[in-house]
Amino acid sequence: MSFPVPDRILPADQLGRVHFIGIGGAGLSAIARLMHQAGIAVSGSDASDSDVIEALRAEGITCFVGHAADQVADVDTVVASTAVRDDNPEVVEARRLGLRLWPRSAGLRSVMIGRRTLAVAGTHGKTTTTAMLTYALRAAGADPSFAIGAEVAGLGTNARLGSSSLFVAEADESDGAFLVYRPAGAIVTNVDADHLDVWGDAASYAAAFDRFAETVGEFLIVCIDDPGARALADKARSRGLRVTTTGFATDADIRGIDVRIENGRTNLSTTYGGERLVDLDLAVPGQHYAQDALAALAAGLALGFGPAELAAGIGQYAGARRRMEALGEAGGVRVYDSYAHHPTEIAADVAAGRALAGSGRLVVVYQPHLVSRTRELGAQMGEALSAADEVFVADLYVAREDPDPSVTSAIVVNAVSGPPATLVGPVDGAASVVAPHVRSGDLVLTLGAGDITTVGPALLDLLRRDAE
């Protein structure tokens, strides 16, 4: 359910008691943490318990498991996830009581008011780039507030209020949230059609990014290796916005050169206007991480910070939860997990997995996410998975939409060419199907935005038992 953005968004300290429906998600948990740190009375609910819920409770935030009308009886403002249905009892009661009922975009905007916001947008790479920019600014002497779309181990959280006026925020386009923030500066990593259940078609999706650029006040950083982002840069520059381009393209303002990916790290040199700038040593493997790092570097430079300090900070980023996250090793098999669910993301993570696997095999266990995305892009998902040595595909994860019997994971499997590809059925049985197929030296990569996260730990448990 998409809740309307109010005509007037009040600062967070004027919202009274705030309750979050869907507080266990990455977006709402970040906003709840920020408000709680600001001294605002915060509570929340979610359908099930989780590590995030437990962490929020430990921080002093009241969290309910399950939804009930009386949980909003004493609050003034309700912020709801887009995954929340209109008939949710807390939504129904909030409307009956005449409470403010806001989408997450309005909630986050309320925290941003009075701060200089830097928004990181794009189809892919938002979380990594937001985290890298946060690290960079901290290393350069700033103490920014931040809201990131995943837990970042090195930061200990996904959100924190800082002491400076800077606010670094991941700006999600999936429901139009990024059109609300009105940032001083912004990064666009790429524009690669997605969320067509919301936007309808690729042209409308690209047009949303044009509208986003129109909300930016000072500067825009754009990776022009991506054709959609390059087109956006041209339009923004023609409107008079200060635009800095990044990437490996020869005409990029800040360009990456001499990329080397080995031993789980990525090293590259950079140039600015053709002159050598600074070297980057990244603790994560993959060319797409190098592109993210270039964008973070450019944003820090646009704010007036020094390249050496920014580069040192970017080098401290060692990954975020579900972004090529190493889960462990058992029986000589290494297991990684990643959030990739779009063909471009799948291709990038499969390439990174291939580099990590070295001389071993790369085995990918994938779960398609959303009916509409699988309908539109399922064949391309299968093509991207074809670069692995063996592929397993679990049942489609249905969220926000009703099931469609004609759209299944078979669309993905049938498009895989080259390696063996197997349908494994429900996620909860996937580990037992995969385990007999892996051997010492393999790297297993689980991919998807749903509950595929459970497969890696289950597989490691099975492999450890087999090794005993």
Catalytic center residues: 126-127, 170
Tokens of 179: 């059109």
Query: How do 219-223 and 145-152 pair as beta strands?
Result: unpaired
The two tokens of residue 139 are 């290393």
Q: How far apart are CA 385 and CA 338, in angstroms?
A: 14
Q: Give 153-156's long-range contacts (Cβ < 8 A, gap of 24+).
A: 153/318, 153/319, 153/320, 153/321, 154/316, 154/317, 154/318, 155/131
From residue 379, give the alpha-carbon distance in Å to each of 346, 371, 384, 385. 12, 13, 9, 10
d(CA 401, CA 365): 23
Q: What distance lies between CA 138 and its chain's CA centroid?
A: 21
Alpha-carbon 367 to chain mean position: 17
- Listed as own residue / partner, the contacts of 460-463 with beta carbons closer than 8 Å and 24 or more positions apart are 460/327, 460/328, 460/329, 460/330, 460/335, 461/330, 461/431, 462/431, 462/432, 462/435, 463/330, 463/331, 463/333, 463/435, 463/438
CA contacts within 13 A on the Cβ side of 93: 17
